Chains A and B, each alone.
Chain A
Amino acid sequence: AQTVTQSQPEMSVQEAETVTLSCTYDTSENNYYLFWYKQPPSRQMILVIRQEAYKQQNATENRFSVNFQKAAKSFSLKISDSQLGDTAMYFCAHLNNNDMRFGAGTRLTVKP
C-alpha cells in the first residue's frame, strides 16, 4: 500500500510571505492522484488543490500551487502571500484505486 510522508510537523511564516510544505509518497502505480487538504481549528477538512499524476503541469489555485516531481515522488505545496486565515493543519494525500492515504500533517502558523 502507498505511504505518504510529511517531514515537517510544524512550520511558521510571516504574513504576506511565501511558505512551502513538503510531501513525499511511495507507490508502485503509474496513475494516481495527489491532494492537499487544509484543516483549520474548526476541524473541517477542506480540499485545497489536486494533481493528476499523468499531467506534468503543476496545479495552481489562486495563492496555492504545487511542485510535482513524479520521478522523485515529491508533491510540495507553496502558499504565496500568506494570510492569517491560512493557519491550519495541512495534509497531503495520495489516491489510487479508491484508497486515499494521508500524511501525518504539517501544522502551519501564519504570524502577523
Chain B
Amino acid sequence: NAGVTQTPKFQVLKTGQSMTLQCAQDMNHNSMYWYRQDPGMGLRLIYYSASEGTTDKGEVPNGYNVSRLNKREFSLRLESAAPSQTSVYFCASSEEMTGIYGYTFGSGTRLTVV
C-alpha cells in the first residue's frame, strides 16, 4: 500500500546543476501530475500525463521537463536549476483520466537551490 512514492525527500542543489525527481505509483492509475508548492500560492501544476505515452504542460512548465517512463513512473527533470525553483514538489496520480475522484499525492520533495 505504498500509493505514490517520491524520491528524494530533500535535496539541495547549486545554481546550474541538474537533477531528476522520481515518482512512482502502484495503484494502476492512468494519470500522473507534478505540482510545486510555494508559500502563499498553493499548488501549481507544472506538467501532467493523462495516460501512458502522453505529457502536457501545466500552469508553470518553464525550466522543467518530464518523462512518463511507463504507467507507474513519471519523472520531473530540472536541466539547470535556478533559485526560483526552490520549492516543495508533489507528484500525484488519479485513476480516472479526468481526475474527478481526486488525486492521490506523494509526500513531496523539498528542493533548495542555492
Point out residues on A near B: beta carbons under 8 Å: 1, 4, 9, 33, 35, 42-47, 50, 52, 91, 95, 97-105
Q: List 6 A-B pairs, minimum CB-CB distance, nearest first.
A: A102-B42, A45-B105, A102-B43, A47-B102, A104-B42, A43-B108
* B 45-97 contacts with A by CB, 8 A: 45, 48, 50, 58-59, 88, 90, 92, 97
Q: With A47-B102, A98-B98, A98-B99 known to touch, is A91 a contact of B42 (CB < 8 Å)?
A: yes
Residue tally, chain B, CB below 8 Å to A: 27
Sample of 11 A–B contacts (CB below 8 Å): A9-B40, A42-B107, A43-B108, A44-B105, A45-B90, A45-B105, A46-B105, A99-B45, A100-B45, A100-B103, A105-B42
Distance between Cα atoms of A58 and B103 in the complex (Å): 20
Q: With A35-B102, A98-B97 known to touch, is A44 a contact of B107 (CB < 8 Å)?
A: yes
A98 touches B41 (CB 8 A): no
Q: How far, in Å, is A1 (CB) from chain B's closest CB?
A: 7
Most buried by B among A4, A47, A100: A100
Point out residues on B near A: beta carbons under 8 Å: 31, 33, 35, 40-45, 48, 50, 58-59, 88, 90, 92, 97-105, 107-108
- Contact for B107 among A43, A100, A102, A105, CB less than 8 A: A43
Distance between Cα atoms of A91 and B39 in the complex (Å): 12
Distance between Cα atoms of A103 and B41 in the complex (Å): 7
Q: With A98-B31, A98-B97 known to touch, is A47 a contact of B103 (CB < 8 Å)?
A: yes
Q: How far, in Å, is A24 (CB) from chain B's closest CB?
A: 14
Distance between Cα atoms of A35 and B92 in the complex (Å): 15
Q: How far, in Å, is B19 (CB) from chain A's closest CB?
A: 19
Q: How far, in Å, is A5 (CB) from chain B's closest CB?
A: 10
A4 surroundings in chain B (CB, below 8 A): 42
Distance between Cα atoms of A85 and B43 in the complex (Å): 23
